[in-house]
Homo-oligomer: A and B are copies of this chain.
């Protein structure tokens, strides 16, 4: 099977200080799942060069694909490019294609150093152009540098998405009125028979419809179906409220 895993590095003091809620990683988690890419880690770190460097280097080595979110732009706290460059042991250069795009956008008005900061890229970076996106996405080795602003983050990811298709996950869901502690033994027995299924058990408080949501996942559809049926036969009659998938 064609497998890909990923990690997301969210760079932003504004998230750690509770001023902004990170919506980029939940968006990306959902998108990646849909295309079969396994998200292994999300981390939120401050705008500090040594931490960005160390984290990006670590993710670069551990995961097939790394996305960074935030810290790109013209101001002092925009140091993601420098961090990615350090992590991959490259220089930061003024990229001629980015500079040309900026100057054409400025249309003759003078470019100050803040503008020119936005033309910076790690040496040897690939620029991924897409008609729908004004400014190309910077990619270095397996690291994709995305901006923090949610609508641009989304727009840019959606333009990249087709690059990452892996084999899809199959998901089946079961909702039950039983308490989690009552069904725990049946879940364990199902896992003994079907050790490869990803089995999730999520209790919900104060929901009139159900007490526990149980999820079955795998890239092998028949395996999911069999594990699902196995649990169904174990559960006390009448405790399943509904199923999905």
- Residues of chain A having any CB pair with chain B under 8 Å: 13-22, 25-26, 29-34, 38-46, 73-77, 112-115, 117-118, 149, 151-152, 169, 180-185, 187-188, 191, 198-206, 215, 217
- In the complex, besides A14-B215, A74-B180, A77-B200, 4 extra interface pairs with C-beta distance below 8 angstroms are A17-B39, A19-B33, A77-B199, A149-B204
Contact between chains at A114 and B181 (CB < 8 Å):
yes
Interface of A is mostly: mixed
| A-B contact list, 19 entries, CB within 8 Å | A14-B200, A15-B26, A15-B29, A16-B42, A17-B29, A17-B39, A17-B198, A18-B31, A19-B215, A25-B44, A41-B43, A41-B44, A43-B43, A75-B201, A76-B199, A77-B200, A114-B185, A115-B181, A152-B205
Contact between chains at B184 and A76 (CB < 8 Å):
yes
Contact between chains at A20 and B202 (CB < 8 Å):
yes
